[in-house]
Structure 1
């Protein structure tokens, strides 16, 4: 699909540059014979058909993948033996991305985590994907709270652009909306980092025992009696 699209795209739009240099106007659906436009227009037509074929193949691939997915094993974090860090996390990607922030020591860090050179200078595998990849099971990663202010900023910015072209008052409204949204977004309160994680509740009893050792001793004596 990719290569057919690549060939079709260049075969469609490449001849249009040549036709323009030959004097053919844009956006016309017919032209008189004898100007030398026939060959390159036919080439562009063939290219557009190749684009259509690639789209059909892509749609078929999506449908087939969707149909066969329940019967296939999960792809895992690194199905393509990738080189960069985005392949070191599970698929589907967890909401927090990385369990821990990766330490990068060089280019293609993920590749060098899996491979190294032996004494003979040959590349050998030193760790499997399962051993090196992150599990995505971390529960202590702090995520920002949900906010509608980014949406307000996204509304204000197009108003600025549209207003600068057609109406400066509209641009002013967009600028005020954007500035107010950014200000409110920056001052938005942050929730307790541990408030939404189960481990916070799991350790509540342990924390109580740590703060009041006597209470733990009393409960132990009561159980023994």
Structure 2
């Protein structure tokens, strides 16, 4: 559980700190390169059927008692599309970004570096020609998770930032944890109620209000 907490925190910080935005670049093998060169897409782009936990997550969203507009918004934030791609990558991809994340959260959480496990990182394109396109990079630890519900929870976590880019870390973690509990207890009315109440209030307020007008 500690490793899961760390990766989710790292993923959030990656999105907020703008490591790959602005006028800076990256050091690759000690040499400076532009963001465009550093972000050459990996070859292992995944189709929906190749992403563990995706089918469980999508089916669960379909089963929720949500207005169709809100449900469509959530599914757009999850499903692979022309503007959202998933890639299976090795631990050697983007080493400088990974090193920065591991070092930062090892220090902030007071744990050793070998306790930090990265599951996923999401990059949002800001170039005018591709603005808003998102690439979700899934690392080996993601595929090593033993529960499909855990993999679905990681994917849901990444999608939450698209639904509410200004959400707090506490909001995302709380919602992700409630979703995982519901995924693992789909017949529990309490698990369903707790998740839906929090999710709709904190992430879907605008969509549900529009549906009611």
Structure with greater contact order relative to length (CA < 8 Å, sep ≥ 6): 2
Structure 1-normalised TM-score?
Answer: 0.22
Higher Cα Rg, which structure: 1
Structure 2-normalised TM-score?
Answer: 0.23
